[in-house]
Chain A
Amino acid sequence: MELPSSPSTYRPAPLASLPPQLDPAEYSESLEKRQAEAERLAIRARLKRRFQLQLHDPRCTGMIEDPAMHRWTYAKSYNIYPNFRPTPKNSLLGALFGLGPLIFWGYVFKTERDHKEKLIREGKYKRPFALSS
């Protein structure tokens, strides 16, 4: 497999992004980027070490708790309304999707029922099956 002679001959296509190996920015990492990468690696290693310690601890017999999971469930279930603030877009979408379907279905049912009642009153409605006998 040969790399192209100059890096600009291979350009990313709509459905094929540039692989990181052909990106020149991959090979010219600055010092800050390398330090940030090292810090992230340290955090990951610390978390993995904590998990492995808890997993093989003979005295800890319960569940291993994940604080990130607690934060996620709290954020998804209990922390939504305290961070809610009515904005114009918010209110418009709420009225559209909250009240809109109700008005729509009300209109549909009302017109259909009125049509049926009119047919029944004129005696033209054929009962498809005997529902109440």
Chain B
Amino acid sequence: MLKIIIPTIMLIPTTTMCKPTQLWYTTLIHSMLISLLSLQLFYPSLQPIMNFSNHNLQQNQTSTPLIILSCWLTPLMILASQNHLSTEPLSRKRTFIITTIILQMLLIMTFSTTDLIMFFVLFEATLIPTLMMITRWGNQMERLNAGTYFLFYTLMGSLPLLVALLSLYSNTNSLSILTMQLSPTMLKNTWTNSMWLLAALTAFMIKMPLYGLHLWLPKAHVEAPIAGSMILAAILLKLGGYGIIRIMSTTNFLSKTPYYPFMILALWGIIMTSLICLRQTDLKSLIAYSPVSHMGLVTAATLTQTEWAYTGAITLMIAHGLTSSLLFCLANTKLRRIHSRTLLLTQNMQLLLPLMGTWWLLASLTNMALPPTINLMGELTIITSLFNWSNTTIIITGLGTLITATYTLHMFSSTQWGELPQHIKIMTPSHTREHLIMTLHILPMMLLMMKPELIWGPLYC
């Protein structure tokens, strides 16, 4: 693990010391090498017994795909930010890259830590670089409001989480994730235990986001710069899912009544947010609402605590991370050309930018969970496990899949087909850098289709 963390930390002095003309490709190649190095993290999880030298930083089959995804996204973030940072002075470019690197380092440590309090501290710490990115480099004035919403929604949920973790520590005198998994406590259905569960889960539910607590997400995603949107959609939402999986493996209620409010909000949120997506005029806002519905599926699945559900949840988290990040990059290419996020302003882009149309098509198809992508594997596993939990959920999840397909096709057809816009006089052709970003997003998705066991988590039987 240290061979990934130390190069990441060392990238910060590299950024400050390299020559101005070499800044972008030095950081890009360095972070790309770190991400290639992180691929060897897959190796321990495929062995029967995992022996780690460090007691504090270990990895599990749950956390390995997320670590690798966060390492993989950093070069993509650096690639995607080159355009909008080209007008900034050099020191600000360096500051932006350093913010990105700090965020990556915190995320690697968050996913690999073995102690729940350390996880909590790093979970909170990831808020700060993201807040800096949103409020400093966002495009519009509403970014201040967005940063406030983003910060305070998560902080309001994390104070109860701290109290819950401390009470767990005072009960069991250890918050190590490794030993907690071996002794899940059977909790009686008292009000105290329900309050403990509410306190422990609320922070992660806000981060996921759960339907009733999701207001920060459209604001933060829309106002963030492209790198901020990518890392938010791909990884920071999955922090919530990862936290829920960790907490869920320790608690086992005798009767599942305390889970019901979260389950119902998650399931109903799938349909509601998909319907909201259909009514959006803003492209980035549409792409921002779609994680809420996919993460609603993940939340509902992790709350059922079955093996298939965990498998599906982890698969869908990784698949959705790549897909959402790809969609945000595509929306950013459009934004750079017409300086407006309105959906209907660019139509028939397939005629002007055909290869970008191919990436739009692949992104839309994977967002709709087309077979045989990993999105479908995750969604189908989740839908099956929810059907096992209660037969009526098939109505909600089936309708949700249908409406997801509808708004994805609406987004695709609005941007790619239709009449050519008459008010755009110049449309720059796609840069090779943009094609490279899209390819680097799609390549893991296609490769993971061949060997999905890598992202199926520890409970794959």
Which residues in A have some Cβ–Cβ distance to B below 8 Å?
51, 55, 60-66, 69, 72-73, 76-78, 101-102, 105-106, 108-110, 112-113, 116, 131-133
Contacts and interface: CB of A to CB of B under 8 A. Distances in A.
B260 A102 contact: no
Interface stretch (B42-50, B190-198, B225-233, B422-430): B422-430
Contacts of B340: 63
Interface in B231-285: 256-257, 260-261, 263-265, 267-268, 281-282, 285
10 contacts: A63-B338, A69-B342, A101-B268, A105-B264, A108-B392, A109-B260, A109-B392, A112-B390, A112-B392, A131-B384
A106 B390 CA distance: 12
Contacts, number: 69
Interface of B: 142, 256-257, 260-261, 263-265, 267-268, 281-282, 285, 306-308, 338-340, 342, 345, 384-385, 388-393, 396, 422-426, 461
B268 A78 contact: no
Contacts of A72: 281
A119 to B, nearest CB: 12
Given A110-B260, A112-B392, A55 B425 contact: yes
Contacts of A116: 390
Q: Which of B257, B282, B422, B425 has the most CB of A within 10 A?
A: B425
Binding site secondary structure of chain A: helix
A62 B426 CA distance: 6
B388 A131 contact: yes
A6 to B, nearest CB: 47
A106 B260 contact: yes
Contact of A113 (B142, B282, B390, B424): B390
A73 B282 contact: yes
Contacts of A55: 422-423, 425
A116 B388 CA distance: 11
A131 B308 contact: yes
Contacts of A131: 306-308, 384-385, 388
Contact of B425 (A61, A69, A77): A61
